[in-house]
């Protein structure tokens, strides 16, 4: 699992923020994370507000994705 930490604005305050990426798979020769999670690291505790699981991804396809 890869982790990145930064500061982001939440409302008008800069707060600590952590992103988690995992379940890497090879797609068209590129390593792509199929799991992502976004978490605020607040004084009151961590708040995970978004989790993504990619089911399908395409590259170099100029047609509409369905």
**Among candidates 23, 48, 17, which has minimal Cα distance to 35?**
23
Give the number of domains in the chain. 1
Average pLDDT over residues 61-66: 74
Strands 2-10 and 45-53: unpaired
Report if residue 59 sits inside a domain: no
Residue 58 lies in a domain: no
Domain span holding position 21: 2-53
Q: Determine how many CB atoms are found less than 10 A away from the CB of residue 61.
A: 8
Classify residue 11: in a domain, yes or no: yes
pTM, whole model, 2 decimals? 0.75
| pLDDT tens-digit map of 14-63 | 999 999 999 999 988 889 999 999 999 999 999 999 999 999 987 777 87
Q: In what side-by-side order are the strands of the sheet with 2-10?
A: 2-10, 13-27, 30-42, 45-53
CA distance 66 to 57: 10
Q: Tell me, what's the pLDDT at 35?
A: 97
Residue 66 reports pLDDT greater than 70: no
8 occurs within a structural domain: yes
Residue 44 lies in a domain: yes
């Amino acid at each position: 699992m890869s982790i990145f930490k930064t500061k982001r604005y939440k409302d008008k305050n800069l707060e600590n923020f952590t992103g988690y990426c995992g379940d890497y798979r090879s797609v068209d020769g590129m390593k792509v994370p199929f799991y992502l999670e976004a978490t605020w690291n607040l004084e009151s505790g961590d708040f995970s507000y978004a989790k993504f699981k990619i089911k399908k991804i395409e590259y170099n396809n100029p047609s509409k994705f369905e």
